[in-house]
């Protein structure tokens, strides 16, 4: 497959980049803009709740965000109930003029773990209201299947809790979800701390990565954004290329055919 044909399609929209990026926690709106540009991301998550113009970032934040001219994916970060998430989703739809929604229903404040039951219930309600839901969920196969069954056309299981940078806590779970739900795009969301984590997720056959903290809080966010851009591409290319099988025993990479001529007397 030619690289330029390898697009990511989400709810009927096509993208070249497989890296989705958050817009919070950057040292300044200008650095956010530069880092997002360097990441090559075409989809940016925004939180109405955490980033309202009067609170974080102010006008500069919104102006920088707007000038990027990217697809916005509003999220319901910080919502703890189905009702709260549905209400915030409706406000976001009005404000951002999009029916795309990253659904987050927090179940536990200690690890910000998504509430699995609340997420399914909220997804079902929002889809009936015409939203295109991107659910942030745990790496639980059955929850992912339920989210698919209520109409989510993309799933976003966590790598590890938001902001921890611990990478993929349970690659086996993520691999099982990939194998059992081959028909939907899957994106690993949250907990990605290093480019190697992103490569690992892409090599499991995931379709994309959503991250925020690892870039926004890096020593050099712009350089880190570029590193993640390249990591996601490398992981994707490795998946398309088909990795060699792992072996139990050594196998020479330089096969020997007979003896060198000076030994043949
Ligand atoms: C930006 C966003 O939507 C976050 O809630 C997301 O889950 C990213 O998590 P990290 O900050 O751990 O990358």
Reported as a single tens digit per residue, the pLDDT across 161-202 is 999 999 999 999 999 999 999 999 999 999 999 999 999 999
Reported as a single tens digit per residue, the pLDDT across 3-43 is 568 999 999 999 999 999 999 999 999 999 999 999 999 99
Tokens representing 104 are 């987050």
Cα(150)–Cα(70) distance, rounded to whole angstroms?
28
Reported as a single tens digit per residue, the pLDDT across 109-134 is 999 999 999 999 999 999 999 999 99
Where are the chain's structural domains?
Answer: 15-239
| pLDDT value of residue 60 | 77
Closest CA to 212 of 24, 56, 48, 19: 24
Cα(202)–Cα(102) distance, rounded to whole angstroms?
20
Homologous superfamily of the 15-239 domain (CATH): Aldolase class I (3.20.20.70)
Residue 173, annotated as binding a ligand: no
Residue 163, annotated as binding a ligand: yes
Identify the three-state secondary structure at position 83: helix
| pLDDT value of residue 20 | 98
Cα(207)–Cα(16) distance, rounded to whole angstroms?
11
Reported as a single tens digit per residue, the pLDDT across 223-238 is 999 999 999 999 999 9
Is residue 141 pLDDT above 80, yes or no? yes
What is the atom index within ligand 1 of the atom nearest the CA of 104?
A: 5
Residue nearest to atom 1 of ligand 1 (CA): 22
| pLDDT value of residue 254 | 83
Q: How far is the CA of 149 from the centre of ligand 1 (A)?
A: 25
pLDDT, average across residues 72-78: 95
Identify the three-state secondary structure at position 11: coil
| pLDDT value of residue 118 | 98
Is residue 221 pLDDT above 60, yes or no? yes
Catalytic residues: 102
| pLDDT value of residue 172 | 98
76 in Cβ contact with 118 (< 8 Å): no
| pLDDT value of residue 189 | 98
190 lines ligand 1 (CB under 6 A): yes
ipTM of the complex, rounded to two decimals: 0.94
Per the listing, tokens 């001529």 go with: 261
Give me the percent of the chain exceeding a pLDDT of 70: 92
| pLDDT value of residue 183 | 98
Q: What is the pTM of this model?
A: 0.92
Cα(156)–Cα(127) distance, rounded to whole angstroms?
16
Identify the three-state secondary structure at position 71: strand
189 lines ligand 1 (CB under 6 A): yes
Residue 190, annotated as binding a ligand: yes
């Amino acid at each position: 497959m030619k690289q330029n044909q390898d697009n990511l399609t989400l709810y009927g929209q096509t993208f070249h980049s497989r890296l989705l990026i958050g817009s919070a926690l950057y040292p300044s709106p200008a650095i956010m803009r530069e880092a997002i540009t360097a990441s090559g991301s075409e989809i940016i998550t925004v939180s109405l709740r955490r980033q309202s113009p009067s609170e974080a970032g102010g006008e500069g934040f919104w102006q920088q965000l707007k000038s990027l001219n990217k697809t916005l994916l509003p999220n319901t970060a910080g919502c703890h109930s189905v009702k709260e998430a549905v209400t915030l989703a409706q406000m976001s739809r009005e404000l951002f003029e999009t029916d795309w929604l990253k659904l987050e229903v927090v179940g536990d404040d200690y690890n910000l773990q998504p509430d699995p039951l609340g997420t399914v219930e909220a997804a079902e309600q929002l889809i009936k209201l015409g939203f295109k839901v991107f659910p942030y969920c745990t790496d639980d196969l059955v929850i992912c299947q339920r989210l698919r069954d209520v109409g989510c056309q993309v799933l976003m299981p966590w790598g590890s809790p938001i902001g921890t940078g611990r990478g993929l806590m349970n690659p086996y779970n993520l691999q099982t979800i990939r194998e059992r739900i081959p028909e939907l795009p899957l994106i690993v969301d949250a907990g990605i701390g290093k480019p190697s984590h992103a490569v690992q997720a892409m090599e499991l056959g995931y379709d994309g990565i959503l991250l925020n903290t690892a870039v926004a809080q890096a020593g050099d966010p712009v350089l880190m954004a570029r590193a993640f851009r390249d990591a996601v591409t490398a992981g994707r290319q490795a998946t398309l290329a088909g990795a060699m099988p792992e072996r139990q025993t050594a196998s020479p990479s330089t096969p020997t055919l007979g003896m060198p001529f000076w030994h043949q007397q």
